[in-house]
Amino acid sequence: MNRIIILLSLLINFMDSDNRSDQVITRQGQVSFFSYTSVENIEAKNNQVLSIVDFSKNEIAISMLMNAFVFKKSLMHEHFNESYIESDLYPKATFQGSIIDFDPLAEGIQTKMVKGTLTIRDITKEVEIKTSIENIDGTYLITGDFEVIVKDFEIKIPPILAPNIAKNISIKFRFEYQPYEK
């Protein structure tokens, strides 16, 4: 009788793991950036960032529309899209990378490095980002921050506006994932 119960529970576990998706998704990830200078502070948020994590390979992919960043002032939005990012020519920014030494089955918070490539304006740079990953009953929350150097992405800022824009831009992100049912 005991053997039958053990066998049944193993089978149920196997079926369960077979049905469990290895991928999680968010369509409403949040990415914010901040530029702090003595002249002015510029801040923008994008709340419609797409990200998929594949736990079978611990790979992460992120994609966002540059024109979906919301600024406090319309002039900032205009400069960002038309002059700096040129979002008509380069509408998306993407990131592809791997979460190093991550155990998706461990509950609670893990601090891990994510290594990968960030592409803005068709220019790709290697980045390494310290992230906090929280597993709450199979839903995952990934948060973190890092800096990008404006010059790395060949963003041209007119000399008259140079004092208004920081040379290093702080980026913050927050992704709350759900199982991805294809």
Query: Residue 90 or residue 113: which is nearer to another protein going by CB?
Result: 90
Q: Measured between alpha carbons, how far apart are the two ends of the chain, in Å?
A: 39
Q: How far is the CB of 78 from another protein (least distance, A)?
A: 9
Q: Which residues pair with 168 in a beta bridge?
A: 149
d(CA 73, CA 70) in angstroms, rounded, equals 9
CB 12, CB 20: distance < 8 Å: no
Q: Which residues of 100-138 are buried (b: 16+ CB within 10 A; e: fewer)?
A: eebebeeeeebebebebebbbbeeeeebebebebebeee
Tell me which residues touch another protein (CB under 8 A). Answer: 25, 27-28, 30, 47-48, 50, 63-65, 67-68, 70-77, 91-92, 174, 176, 182
Query: Residue 51 or residue 135: which is nearer to another protein going by CB?
Result: 51
Q: How far is the CB of 167 from another protein (least distance, A)?
A: 23
Q: How far is the CB of 169 from another protein (least distance, A)?
A: 18
Query: Residue 53 or residue 102: which is nearer to another protein going by CB?
Result: 53
Query: Residue 82 or residue 107: which is nearer to another protein going by CB?
Result: 82
CB 35, CB 169: distance < 8 Å: yes
Q: How far is the CB of 35 from another protein (least distance, A)?
A: 16
Query: Residue 63 or residue 98: which is nearer to another protein going by CB?
Result: 63
d(CA 147, CA 95) in angstroms, rounded, equals 14
Q: How far is the CB of 130 from another protein (least distance, A)?
A: 22
